[in-house]
Amino acid sequence: MTRKELLLEVEDLLNTYCEGCFLKSQHRKDNGKRYAHKFCISACTVGEKIKRCGDKLSEGICK
């Protein structure tokens, strides 16, 4: 997968699933921004997929 394709996949995931996410907004309201961010990265399946894309980008695997 190329860098551009990975970035497009991340953007698509964010626009499709994260925009207006109830869990994110509720966690942010109840527990703060840091907690909501941590939840999205570690517990949300979409966040985990975005993190894997980011890992690929930072490793330089993509062309």
Position 60 scores a pLDDT of: 78
Angle at 39 between CA 9 and CA 4, to 5 degrees: 15
At residue 61, the 3 state secondary structure works out as coil
- What pLDDT, in 10s, does the model give residues 21-43? 999 999 999 999 999 999 999 99
Position 62 scores a pLDDT of: 57
At residue 60, the 3 state secondary structure works out as coil
Position 34 scores a pLDDT of: 97
Q: Which residue do the tokens 């997929």 mark? A: 49
Closest CA to 2 of 49, 51, 50, 61: 61
Q: CB–CB of 3/63 below 8 Å?
A: yes
